[in-house]
Chains A and B, each alone.
Chain A
Amino acid sequence: MRNYFLLLILAIAISAKGQTINDFQLLSTSGKNFKLSDNANAKGYIVVFTSNNCPFAKLYPERLKALNKKYEPLGIPLVCIRSTDTTVMDEDVYEKMIELTKREQFNFPYLVDGDQEVAAQFHADKTPHAFVIWKENEQWVVKYSGAIDDNGAEEKKVKHRYVAEAVDALLGGKEVAIKKTASVGCAIHYRKK
């Protein structure tokens, strides 16, 4: 009986803690592999699932670079992942990801998730779909999931920079106020297995 009670407490504790992310290794447009554990000093990551093709995702490169420029020195680097199905959309193939990286002068890794496993682990459903993950007890815990901010087309009219607000809260040792919003953009279609 005591064991069951302890297990129940543990389950509640785990669920209250939030979704955890296992480390992964993906190829970057730089030609190198990327793993979360590569940066031993990272307190957390901003992970953004995006694509070359989605018109809404195309609104965000400058804002993504700005986020990385601000938060990487503070130990929260940004990384972008492309998980869309290139069997149906060849504009998202690796070679074109490299072109985009150069054209937009990305200052962050742009990774290819060809088998969509990482996107599935995060439960990413749109491009762009942003996550803030934080290291707690050697585990990566999702602290925010959803839109990058609340206005894609008109940055000057943004009222909530959800990702930045979440990272600022975590850096200040506070709870993230808005943990989840609906991601806005093009659907990620998962191949049937």
Chain B
Amino acid sequence: MNFYRFFIKKIFLLVLMCSLHSAANAQYNTLWIPDTLSGTTFNLTVRDTFRQVLPGQQTIVGAFNHFPTWGPTLFWNKGDSVNMFVTNSMLDTTTVHWHGIHLPAIMDGGPHQTIAPNQTWNPKFRVKNNAAMYWYHPHLHMMTQAQLGLGIGGLIIVRDPIEAALALPRKYGVDDIPLVLTDSRFDNSNQIVLSLYGDTMMCNFTLNAQYTIPAQVVRLRILNTASERFYNLGFSDNRSFSVIGSDGGLLNAPVSLTRKLLAPGERVEILVNCTGQNGTSFDLMAYNSGMATDYPGWQPTNYSDVRFRNDLGGRNFNILHLNVGPQTANPKTTIPTTLTTNVFPDSTASIATRAISMALGGSACPPGYPDCYQLNATNFDMNRIDYRPLINSTEIWEITNNSTLAHPFHIHDAQFKIISVNGVNAPAADRGWKDVVVVRRNYKVRFVVSFPDYADSLHPFMYHCHMAPHEDAGMMGQFTVMPECVPTITTLTPTTLGVGALATLKGTHLNNITSVKFNALSSSFNITSDTTIKATVPTGVTAGVITAQNNCGTATSQAYTIVDSANVTVKFLLQGLYVAPDSMRNAMGIYADSVQIRLYAKSDVTTPAKIINTVVRTNGQTFCKLPASFIGRQYYICIRHRNSIETWSKTAVTLRNGLTYDFSRP
């Protein structure tokens, strides 16, 4: 009888435990892992579709290929040439940008490479990036948030021999798990609402996600695709994890952390050691409670300004529930102590420093985007190139944030190395290759970046805040990597010109100049050397800038102004009339005597180019008004006086408006 009661009791407890376990797990959904595509030719079709996210009505989303949302993870090998076919089956135009990938600008998929409905775009390029996780996503100007928010995007995992030689987890979906983090807001009919901050956390577009990982070292590759929210990642049991990779590749060595802040657009690769933990569970969390208020999204549900309210604001929340299961065959159970030896650009080799400031746009915001943020007090302009770094050059970019929010700054094409954050070294986990860097309120971040190839003076790359609403509102600029033959103009002399005057332009790559224009008016010119051009100011000229063009590009000078004549002062003292320094006897009033000023061109010292009969003042000054055509040209100045020896300037003088040539001061 006792045994019978014992047996029934045990059965009851077993059933109860199963029920509780079932009930507990009934709240979770199995994490969706994107399927993969490999090879060198990839066909992607972006389309409108729908999926069951919440109970009831389906949610309209975007997706690639047959996927319910998002897109396939692309596996590329470094060194391969990939051929991408991207077809747009949506009813709206889009673009597909290869985030973090180094490639020609025309293949970049930024706002200029639009794909209209029913069109196929075919970029192709060599994979030059180091092993890391990158991603692809829409980048249509003013539509990035809307399209990315619908779940249009995908991951790219680049493999290379260096990474392959390491004892790292590499079984995709088993011990190498991609995690795409976002938070969304849904309306009463379960449709995604465009908002700054979502109310519902999703991991791989799965609500309340859970996944089983093996009891060994597990690799998590994490991407933040939220509109604005940063995630302060950690585990529910505060276990440490090892950061092994950043946006653009492996770190030199793992960095052990318990918290890692991840901004929109950023990626991080971590290793978590679950060896011996079969049967346990823990959660990947966002420890966002208590975050500083320059990290967006902290405002809780009852916040005063309704625009910023959100259900995830100011609190910690679950991202992914992890159940630890049995080990796999050949498990990785240790974490490498070294990873690679990165060779970063040399900041001492920098030839330019770009200063970029972040601030609120105020009244200068574009229509429809009040409260926008700007870079360098300007809004994005598709037709304006902001920077033109030279190919094979290294530059330092300084980003200063004068706004109230932290912004994740992203640059296309290139991976960079952070030099300093407010004057000190970046955190250890951010000392690898990056293409997104967080610039906090009132901070200055400096990074060094190189542009080793893919010069293209016509097609730009972008740089922008990677919070999609800010990017859409114009917190973005463009740069083109210029070929070495592109001309530059460093100086213009003189800057006050007149019709017929000679302007001297100094710069680089001027040998092959084919046209020079003064405010769009063509002029004659003479190429003196690869660094000097002399151009004659044409008739009809107006004030403006001078442009010099060759087959590679166009250089622009500083601004010039136009005068009708040139006023030149010649100063001398006549020996016979000398009284004291800067003083002669007067003949009439302030005037000492009559004189003749002659100008002889450097090329012809026999025939005067100009004879000016004038008077010299008692202080030695003689004022000559010359035609504007004399400006910029070289002349010997000769003084003739009835009672003095003819005197010439020692050298030919380049005339300019306002020149004073003083014979009395040798």
Contacts and interface: CB of A to CB of B under 8 A. Distances in A.
B46 to A, nearest CB: 13
A56 B118 contact: no
B118 A54 contact: no
Contact of B118 (A89, A182, A186, A189): A89
Contact of B57 (A88, A184, A186): A184
A121 B190 CA distance: 27
Contact of A152 (B57, B91, B118, B187): B57
A55 B189 CA distance: 17
Contacts of A88: 91, 116-118
6 contacts: A89-B117, A152-B57, A184-B57, A184-B189, A184-B190, A186-B48
A56 B58 contact: yes
Contact of B92 (A150, A157, A187): A187
Interface string B48-87: 1110100011101000000000000000000000000000
A88 B89 CA distance: 10
Contacts of A182: 187-189, 191
Interface string A146-185: 0100111100010100000000000000000000011011
A123 B285 CA distance: 43
Given A182-B188, A187-B91, A152 B58 contact: yes
Contacts of B187: 182
A153 B48 contact: no
Contacts of B60: 56, 184-186
A175 B49 CA distance: 35
A186 B49 CA distance: 8
Contact of A150 (B48, B56, B116): B56
A90 interface: yes
A141 to B, nearest CB: 24
A101 interface: no
A84 interface: yes
A50 to B, nearest CB: 13
Chain A at the B interface: SS class: loop
A152 B50 contact: yes
A88 B118 CA distance: 7
A54 B57 contact: no
A84 B91 contact: yes
Contacts of B191: 182, 184
Given A54-B48, A184-B189, A150 B57 contact: yes
Interface of A: 53-56, 84-85, 88-90, 147, 150-153, 157, 159, 181-182, 184-187, 189
Given A150-B56, A187-B91, A90 B118 contact: yes
B56 A151 contact: yes
Contacts of A189: 91-92
A147 B189 CA distance: 9
Nearest to B146: A187
Nearest to A157: B56
Nearest to B93: A88
Contacts of B56: 150-151, 157, 159
7 nearest CB pairs, A to B: A88-B117, A182-B189, A153-B58, A186-B48, A55-B49, A150-B57, A152-B58
B50 A153 contact: yes
Interface string B403-441: 000000000000000000000000000000000000000
Given A89-B118, A186-B91, 14 more contacts: A54-B91, A55-B49, A56-B50, A88-B116, A89-B91, A89-B117, A151-B57, A152-B57, A152-B58, A153-B50, A153-B58, A157-B56, A159-B56, A186-B48
Contacts of A153: 50, 52, 58
Interface in B31-48: 47-48
B52 A55 contact: no
Interface in B106-136: 116-118
Interface of B: 47-50, 52, 56-58, 60, 91-92, 116-118, 187-191
A78 to B, nearest CB: 21
A53 B57 CA distance: 20
A55 B91 contact: no
A121 B206 CA distance: 39
Contacts of B50: 55-56, 152-153
A51 to B, nearest CB: 8
B89 to A, nearest CB: 8
Contacts of B190: 184
B609 to A, nearest CB: 62
Contacts of A54: 48, 91
A84 B117 CA distance: 12
Nearest to A146: B189
A56 B597 CA distance: 90
A53 B88 CA distance: 13
Nearest to A126: B60
B189 A150 contact: yes
Contacts of A84: 91
Contacts of B58: 56, 151-153, 184
A112 B116 CA distance: 23
A120 to B, nearest CB: 17
Contacts of B189: 147, 150, 181-182, 184
A191 to B, nearest CB: 12
A153 B49 CA distance: 11
A180 to B, nearest CB: 11
Counting chain A CB atoms within 10 Å of each CB, the highest count among B47, B57, B92, B189 belongs to: B57
A103 B178 CA distance: 42
B270 to A, nearest CB: 37
A89 B119 CA distance: 10
Contacts of B49: 55
A173 B130 CA distance: 70
B597 to A, nearest CB: 67
A53 B190 CA distance: 22
Contacts of A150: 56-57, 189
A189 B190 CA distance: 21
B92 A147 contact: no
A54 to B, nearest CB: 7
Nearest to A159: B56
B67 to A, nearest CB: 13
Counting chain A CB atoms within 10 Å of each CB, the highest count among B52, B188, B189, B190 belongs to: B189
A61 B190 CA distance: 22
A130 to B, nearest CB: 13
